[in-house]
């Protein structure tokens, strides 16, 4: 049995296995860029009056973590992944070709979804500061709970280990 390297794995029967072209990624990046520009243009005056402070970055980062984890990994995010991923309830692998597959790669990558989540969290804070702070607080608290649950499970596992 041989293990295929990445380039060999991509080529089968003369076709690229993933069937994603650079312009597919460019289209996704163009949408992100357009949304980013829209947020900047739509909120530039409001942000002058109520700028995002450095102290808000950690809670917004935690909120972004919570959103991206739900979309990319959790069972309740299956509906978002399903059009783009095989077996979306278990994370799954991107399916289809071209833009569908590129979107499948996006929605299964928590860091990738994190960039889009950050745009939403920060955009909401900039557009509607009170709503943005409330949503950030809820999502950051959810992320804190997630980290606490993970830490508790880790400690419980360590406590149950047999010494030696």
Q: Where are the domains of the chain?
A: 9-158
**Whole-angstrom distance between the N-terminal and C-terminal Cα of the chain?**
38
The span from the CA of 131 to the CA of 145, in Å, is 21
| Mean pLDDT score, 116-134 | 98
> In the block, which residue shows the tokens 């995002």?
52
Q: pLDDT tens digits, residue range 43-57?
A: 999 999 999 999 999
Output the six-digit token pair for 48: 């002058």
Contact 63, 140 (CB under 8 A): yes
The pLDDT value recorded for residue 9 is: 41
Contact 84, 94 (CB under 8 A): yes
The span from the CA of 80 to the CA of 70, in Å, is 10
pTM equals: 0.82
């Amino acid at each position: 049995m041989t293990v295929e390297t990445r380039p060999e794995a991509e080529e089968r029967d003369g076709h690229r296995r993933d069937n994603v072209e650079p312009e597919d990624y460019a289209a996704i990046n163009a949408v992100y860029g357009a949304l980013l520009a829209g947020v900047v243009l739509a909120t530039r005056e409001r942000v002058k009056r109520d700028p995002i402070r450095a102290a808000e970055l950690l809670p917004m980062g935690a909120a972004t973590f919570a959103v991206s984890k739900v979309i990319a990994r959790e069972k309740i995010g299956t509906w978002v992944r399903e059009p783009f991923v095989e077996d979306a309830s278990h994370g799954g692998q991107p399916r289809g070709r071209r833009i569908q597959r590129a979107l499948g790669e996006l929605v299964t990558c928590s860091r990738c979804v994190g960039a889009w989540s950050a745009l939403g969290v920060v955009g909401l804070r900039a557009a509607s500061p009170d709503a943005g702070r409330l949503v950030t607080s809820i999502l950051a608290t959810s992320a804190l709970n997630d980290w606490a649950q993970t830490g508790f499970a880790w400690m419980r596992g360590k406590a149950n280990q047999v010494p030696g």
